[in-house]
Amino acid sequence: MNPLSAIYGGVVGARNALYDRGLLRARRLRAAVVSIGNLSAGGSGKTPFVLLLGELLKVRGLKFDVLSRGYGRKSRGVLLVDPAGLPQEFGDEPLLIARKLQVPVIVGEDRHQAGCFAESRFGPQLHVLDDGFQHRALARDFDIVLVTPQEASDRLLPAGRLREPLSSLSRADAVVLASGASAESFPIEGKLIWRVRRGMAPQNVPPRPVVFCGIARPQQFTLQLRTANIEPAAEAFYHDHHAYSERDVRELLALRQKSEAGGFVTTEKDAVNLGSYLTALEPLCVVPVRMEFAEAANAVDTMLGMIEERKHRA
Protein backbone atom coordinates (compact mmCIF):
# COMPACT_ATOMS: atom_id res chain seq x y z
CA MET A 1 0.00 0.00 0.00
CA ASN A 2 1.11 3.55 -0.72
CA PRO A 3 2.54 5.00 2.55
CA LEU A 4 0.33 8.09 2.33
CA SER A 5 -2.73 5.90 1.69
CA ALA A 6 -1.77 3.82 4.74
CA ILE A 7 -1.61 6.97 6.88
CA TYR A 8 -4.91 8.23 5.46
CA GLY A 9 -6.55 4.83 6.05
CA GLY A 10 -5.31 4.83 9.65
CA VAL A 11 -6.84 8.24 10.32
CA VAL A 12 -10.16 7.24 8.73
CA GLY A 13 -10.21 3.97 10.64
CA ALA A 14 -9.48 5.67 13.96
CA ARG A 15 -12.23 8.25 13.40
CA ASN A 16 -14.78 5.59 12.49
CA ALA A 17 -13.80 3.53 15.54
CA LEU A 18 -14.45 6.53 17.80
CA TYR A 19 -17.99 6.83 16.41
CA ASP A 20 -18.58 3.06 16.47
CA ARG A 21 -17.62 2.90 20.17
CA GLY A 22 -19.64 5.96 21.10
CA LEU A 23 -16.61 8.03 22.10
CA LEU A 24 -17.64 10.52 19.42
CA ARG A 25 -21.39 11.02 19.45
CA ALA A 26 -23.52 11.89 16.45
CA ARG A 27 -26.15 14.58 17.00
CA ARG A 28 -29.74 13.73 16.16
CA LEU A 29 -32.46 15.79 14.52
CA ARG A 30 -36.14 15.59 15.47
CA ALA A 31 -37.12 14.03 12.14
CA ALA A 32 -35.63 10.98 10.40
CA VAL A 33 -32.54 11.32 8.23
CA VAL A 34 -31.87 9.30 5.07
CA SER A 35 -28.25 9.57 3.97
CA ILE A 36 -27.15 9.10 0.35
CA GLY A 37 -23.42 8.76 -0.18
CA ASN A 38 -20.58 6.75 -1.63
CA LEU A 39 -17.09 5.52 -0.85
CA SER A 40 -15.03 7.56 -3.28
CA ALA A 41 -14.22 11.13 -4.19
CA GLY A 42 -15.95 12.21 -7.38
CA GLY A 43 -19.17 11.21 -9.01
CA SER A 44 -21.00 7.93 -8.64
CA GLY A 45 -24.47 9.25 -9.42
CA LYS A 46 -25.38 10.67 -6.00
CA THR A 47 -27.20 13.71 -7.37
CA PRO A 48 -29.28 11.75 -9.94
CA PHE A 49 -30.14 9.30 -7.14
CA VAL A 50 -31.20 12.14 -4.81
CA LEU A 51 -33.47 13.38 -7.62
CA LEU A 52 -34.83 9.88 -8.20
CA LEU A 53 -35.53 9.23 -4.50
CA GLY A 54 -37.03 12.70 -4.16
CA GLU A 55 -39.49 12.07 -6.97
CA LEU A 56 -40.48 8.73 -5.41
CA LEU A 57 -41.09 10.44 -2.05
CA LYS A 58 -43.16 13.16 -3.73
CA VAL A 59 -45.33 10.54 -5.44
CA ARG A 60 -46.15 9.22 -1.95
CA GLY A 61 -47.05 12.73 -0.78
CA LEU A 62 -44.21 12.75 1.76
CA LYS A 63 -42.76 16.12 2.73
CA PHE A 64 -38.98 16.29 2.93
CA ASP A 65 -36.01 18.59 2.58
CA VAL A 66 -32.46 18.07 1.34
CA LEU A 67 -29.38 18.86 3.44
CA SER A 68 -26.13 19.46 1.56
CA ARG A 69 -22.67 20.77 2.21
CA GLY A 70 -22.86 22.94 -0.90
CA TYR A 71 -19.53 21.93 -2.40
CA GLY A 72 -17.79 24.68 -4.36
CA ARG A 73 -19.83 27.60 -3.01
CA LYS A 74 -18.08 30.78 -1.93
CA SER A 75 -20.56 31.54 0.86
CA ARG A 76 -20.36 30.23 4.42
CA GLY A 77 -22.82 29.06 7.06
CA VAL A 78 -26.36 27.73 6.75
CA LEU A 79 -28.40 28.98 3.79
CA LEU A 80 -31.73 28.12 2.21
CA VAL A 81 -31.09 27.59 -1.50
CA ASP A 82 -32.86 30.07 -3.76
CA PRO A 83 -33.64 28.20 -7.02
CA ALA A 84 -33.08 31.48 -8.89
CA GLY A 85 -29.68 31.95 -7.24
CA LEU A 86 -26.13 31.33 -8.38
CA PRO A 87 -23.88 28.27 -7.96
CA GLN A 88 -21.22 30.51 -6.36
CA GLU A 89 -23.63 31.12 -3.50
CA PHE A 90 -25.14 27.67 -3.03
CA GLY A 91 -23.12 25.14 -5.07
CA ASP A 92 -24.14 23.71 -8.44
CA GLU A 93 -25.64 20.42 -7.25
CA PRO A 94 -27.83 21.89 -4.45
CA LEU A 95 -29.07 24.48 -6.96
CA LEU A 96 -29.91 21.74 -9.49
CA ILE A 97 -31.72 19.71 -6.79
CA ALA A 98 -33.73 22.74 -5.67
CA ARG A 99 -34.77 23.55 -9.23
CA LYS A 100 -35.69 19.99 -10.15
CA LEU A 101 -37.43 18.81 -6.97
CA GLN A 102 -38.87 22.15 -5.83
CA VAL A 103 -38.42 21.25 -2.16
CA PRO A 104 -36.39 23.08 0.50
CA VAL A 105 -32.64 22.53 0.04
CA ILE A 106 -30.41 23.78 2.85
CA VAL A 107 -26.63 24.05 2.58
CA GLY A 108 -24.25 24.16 5.51
CA GLU A 109 -20.84 22.82 6.50
CA ASP A 110 -22.49 21.54 9.69
CA ARG A 111 -25.37 19.38 8.51
CA HIS A 112 -26.88 19.24 12.02
CA GLN A 113 -27.16 23.03 12.03
CA ALA A 114 -28.64 22.86 8.53
CA GLY A 115 -31.21 20.33 9.75
CA CYS A 116 -32.11 22.43 12.79
CA PHE A 117 -32.60 25.41 10.49
CA ALA A 118 -34.84 23.31 8.22
CA GLU A 119 -36.94 22.13 11.16
CA SER A 120 -37.32 25.66 12.50
CA ARG A 121 -38.50 26.91 9.10
CA PHE A 122 -40.52 23.96 7.76
CA GLY A 123 -41.20 21.77 10.78
CA PRO A 124 -39.81 18.27 11.41
CA GLN A 125 -40.03 16.44 8.09
CA LEU A 126 -37.90 13.74 6.50
CA HIS A 127 -34.35 14.92 5.79
CA VAL A 128 -32.43 13.61 2.76
CA LEU A 129 -28.73 14.01 3.50
CA ASP A 130 -26.77 14.51 0.27
CA ASP A 131 -23.24 13.02 0.20
CA GLY A 132 -23.58 12.06 3.83
CA PHE A 133 -21.90 8.68 4.30
CA GLN A 134 -18.71 10.19 5.76
CA HIS A 135 -20.55 12.95 7.69
CA ARG A 136 -20.96 10.87 10.82
CA ALA A 137 -21.46 13.88 13.08
CA LEU A 138 -25.14 13.74 12.07
CA ALA A 139 -27.10 10.65 13.15
CA ARG A 140 -29.05 8.99 10.36
CA ASP A 141 -31.90 6.51 10.33
CA PHE A 142 -31.11 4.90 6.99
CA ASP A 143 -27.81 4.81 5.08
CA ILE A 144 -27.77 4.39 1.29
CA VAL A 145 -24.40 3.94 -0.43
CA LEU A 146 -23.87 3.92 -4.19
CA VAL A 147 -21.02 1.82 -5.60
CA THR A 148 -19.55 1.58 -9.11
CA PRO A 149 -17.44 -1.16 -10.72
CA GLN A 150 -14.29 0.98 -10.48
CA GLU A 151 -14.48 1.09 -6.68
CA ALA A 152 -14.19 -2.67 -6.32
CA SER A 153 -10.49 -2.52 -7.24
CA ASP A 154 -9.67 1.07 -6.28
CA ARG A 155 -7.29 2.22 -3.55
CA LEU A 156 -7.56 4.73 -0.73
CA LEU A 157 -6.70 8.38 -1.24
CA PRO A 158 -4.29 9.73 -2.34
CA ALA A 159 -3.16 6.71 -4.39
CA GLY A 160 -6.75 6.07 -5.50
CA ARG A 161 -10.15 7.71 -5.09
CA LEU A 162 -11.57 5.80 -2.12
CA ARG A 163 -12.46 7.93 0.90
CA GLU A 164 -13.03 4.76 2.93
CA PRO A 165 -12.17 1.08 2.52
CA LEU A 166 -14.78 -1.31 1.12
CA SER A 167 -15.23 -2.74 4.62
CA SER A 168 -17.04 0.49 5.58
CA LEU A 169 -20.04 -0.78 3.62
CA SER A 170 -20.86 -2.64 6.85
CA ARG A 171 -22.45 0.65 8.03
CA ALA A 172 -24.83 0.80 5.06
CA ASP A 173 -28.46 -0.27 5.15
CA ALA A 174 -28.83 -0.39 1.36
CA VAL A 175 -26.12 -0.66 -1.29
CA VAL A 176 -27.00 0.70 -4.72
CA LEU A 177 -25.25 -1.03 -7.59
CA ALA A 178 -24.66 1.70 -10.17
CA SER A 179 -23.02 1.70 -13.62
CA GLY A 180 -23.23 -2.09 -13.86
CA ALA A 181 -21.54 -2.85 -10.52
CA SER A 182 -21.72 -6.47 -9.40
CA ALA A 183 -22.80 -7.52 -5.91
CA GLU A 184 -20.10 -10.22 -5.89
CA SER A 185 -17.38 -7.55 -6.02
CA PHE A 186 -18.28 -5.96 -2.68
CA PRO A 187 -18.59 -7.14 0.96
CA ILE A 188 -22.33 -6.52 1.22
CA GLU A 189 -23.75 -9.79 2.52
CA GLY A 190 -26.93 -9.16 4.51
CA LYS A 191 -27.49 -5.69 3.06
CA LEU A 192 -30.40 -4.53 0.97
CA ILE A 193 -29.19 -4.51 -2.64
CA TRP A 194 -30.75 -2.06 -5.05
CA ARG A 195 -29.93 -1.78 -8.73
CA VAL A 196 -30.11 1.37 -10.80
CA ARG A 197 -29.17 2.25 -14.33
CA ARG A 198 -28.53 5.61 -15.86
CA GLY A 199 -30.29 6.69 -19.00
CA MET A 200 -30.85 9.77 -21.09
CA ALA A 201 -33.26 10.90 -23.76
CA PRO A 202 -31.55 13.72 -25.68
CA GLN A 203 -33.90 15.89 -27.70
CA ASN A 204 -33.23 18.49 -30.40
CA VAL A 205 -29.55 17.59 -30.58
CA PRO A 206 -27.60 19.72 -33.07
CA PRO A 207 -25.88 17.76 -35.86
CA ARG A 208 -22.30 16.72 -35.10
CA PRO A 209 -22.18 18.65 -31.80
CA VAL A 210 -19.32 19.75 -29.59
CA VAL A 211 -19.81 17.77 -26.38
CA PHE A 212 -18.47 19.48 -23.25
CA CYS A 213 -18.88 19.00 -19.51
CA GLY A 214 -17.30 19.56 -16.12
CA ILE A 215 -18.28 16.43 -14.19
CA ALA A 216 -16.37 13.74 -12.31
CA ARG A 217 -16.55 11.06 -15.01
CA PRO A 218 -16.97 12.79 -18.39
CA GLN A 219 -16.20 9.66 -20.40
CA GLN A 220 -19.34 8.05 -19.02
CA PHE A 221 -21.41 10.95 -20.37
CA THR A 222 -19.89 10.70 -23.86
CA LEU A 223 -20.33 6.92 -23.82
CA GLN A 224 -24.03 7.34 -23.08
CA LEU A 225 -24.33 9.85 -25.92
CA ARG A 226 -22.68 7.45 -28.34
CA THR A 227 -25.04 4.72 -27.16
CA ALA A 228 -27.85 7.12 -28.14
CA ASN A 229 -26.22 7.42 -31.62
CA ILE A 230 -24.82 10.91 -30.99
CA GLU A 231 -21.28 11.15 -32.36
CA PRO A 232 -19.39 14.28 -31.20
CA ALA A 233 -17.53 16.42 -33.71
CA ALA A 234 -15.27 17.48 -30.81
CA GLU A 235 -15.06 17.16 -27.03
CA ALA A 236 -14.02 19.52 -24.24
CA PHE A 237 -13.71 18.35 -20.64
CA TYR A 238 -13.31 20.50 -17.52
CA HIS A 239 -12.77 19.63 -13.88
CA ASP A 240 -15.80 18.70 -11.75
CA HIS A 241 -17.98 21.67 -10.68
CA HIS A 242 -16.22 23.92 -13.23
CA ALA A 243 -17.37 27.55 -13.11
CA TYR A 244 -17.48 28.70 -16.72
CA SER A 245 -15.91 32.00 -17.75
CA GLU A 246 -16.15 34.25 -20.78
CA ARG A 247 -12.83 32.81 -21.93
CA ASP A 248 -14.24 29.26 -21.80
CA VAL A 249 -17.17 30.33 -23.96
CA ARG A 250 -14.84 31.93 -26.53
CA GLU A 251 -12.77 28.74 -26.65
CA LEU A 252 -15.88 26.58 -27.08
CA LEU A 253 -17.14 28.76 -29.91
CA ALA A 254 -13.72 28.54 -31.58
CA LEU A 255 -13.78 24.74 -31.18
CA ARG A 256 -17.21 24.62 -32.78
CA GLN A 257 -15.97 26.62 -35.76
CA LYS A 258 -12.78 24.57 -36.12
CA SER A 259 -14.65 21.23 -35.97
CA GLU A 260 -17.51 22.50 -38.16
CA ALA A 261 -19.95 21.34 -35.48
CA GLY A 262 -23.64 22.14 -35.60
CA GLY A 263 -23.91 23.20 -31.95
CA PHE A 264 -23.27 22.00 -28.41
CA VAL A 265 -24.35 19.26 -25.97
CA THR A 266 -23.78 19.37 -22.20
CA THR A 267 -25.23 18.21 -18.87
CA GLU A 268 -27.77 19.83 -16.56
CA LYS A 269 -25.08 20.48 -13.95
CA ASP A 270 -22.98 22.31 -16.54
CA ALA A 271 -26.03 24.35 -17.57
CA VAL A 272 -26.28 25.53 -13.95
CA ASN A 273 -22.61 26.51 -13.97
CA LEU A 274 -22.90 28.28 -17.33
CA GLY A 275 -25.54 30.66 -15.99
CA SER A 276 -25.93 33.68 -18.27
CA TYR A 277 -23.50 32.22 -20.81
CA LEU A 278 -26.06 29.61 -21.88
CA THR A 279 -27.52 31.70 -24.66
CA ALA A 280 -24.08 32.39 -26.14
CA LEU A 281 -23.73 28.70 -26.99
CA GLU A 282 -26.97 28.18 -28.88
CA PRO A 283 -27.94 25.89 -30.43
CA LEU A 284 -27.30 24.00 -27.19
CA CYS A 285 -28.85 20.71 -26.05
CA VAL A 286 -28.89 20.26 -22.26
CA VAL A 287 -29.24 16.54 -21.60
CA PRO A 288 -30.96 15.44 -18.37
CA VAL A 289 -29.42 12.29 -16.91
CA ARG A 290 -32.07 9.96 -15.54
CA MET A 291 -31.73 7.08 -13.13
CA GLU A 292 -34.04 4.10 -13.33
CA PHE A 293 -34.63 2.09 -10.19
CA ALA A 294 -35.45 -1.61 -10.40
CA GLU A 295 -38.48 -2.36 -8.16
CA ALA A 296 -38.53 1.23 -6.92
CA ALA A 297 -41.82 0.99 -5.04
CA ASN A 298 -40.77 -2.07 -3.02
CA ALA A 299 -37.38 -0.54 -2.19
CA VAL A 300 -38.81 2.75 -0.93
CA ASP A 301 -41.54 0.99 1.04
CA THR A 302 -38.89 -1.21 2.68
CA MET A 303 -36.81 1.86 3.57
CA LEU A 304 -39.75 3.74 5.08
CA GLY A 305 -40.82 0.62 6.99
CA MET A 306 -37.36 0.16 8.51
CA ILE A 307 -37.22 3.83 9.54
CA GLU A 308 -40.62 3.56 11.22
CA GLU A 309 -39.65 0.33 12.99
CA ARG A 310 -36.43 1.87 14.31
CA LYS A 311 -38.30 4.93 15.54
CA HIS A 312 -40.58 2.72 17.67
CA ARG A 313 -37.60 0.76 19.02
CA ALA A 314 -35.69 3.90 20.03
137: nearest Cα among 166, 159, 113: 113
d(CA 305, CA 32): 12
Say if CB 209 and CB 235 are below 8 A apart. no
Would you state the pLDDT for residue 216?
86
* pLDDT tens-digit map of 163-203: 999 999 999 999 999 989 999 999 999 999 999 988 888 88
pLDDT at 88 over 80: yes
User: For residue 187, how many other CB atoms are within 10 A of its CB?
Assistant: 13
168: nearest Cα among 15, 46, 39, 40: 39
Domains present along the chain, CATH in parentheses: 3-198+298-313 (3.40.50.300), 202-287 (3.40.50)
229: nearest Cα among 197, 202, 262: 202
Query: For residue 158, is the peptide bond before it cis, meaning its omega torsion is within 30 degrees of 0?
Result: yes
Say if CB 78 and CB 161 are below 8 A apart. no
The letter for the amino acid at 219 is Q
* pLDDT tens-digit map of 64-84: 999 999 998 999 999 999 999
Say if CB 157 and CB 186 are below 8 A apart. no
**Mean pLDDT in residue range 158-166:** 95
pLDDT at 1 over 80: no
d(CA 299, CA 293): 9
d(CA 231, CA 211): 9
Q: Residue 306 burial by CB count (10 A; 0-12/13-18/19+): exposed, middle or buried? A: middle
Query: Maximum distance among all alpha carbons in the chain?
Result: 65
State the Cα torsion 88-92-93-98 to the nearest 10°. Answer: 80
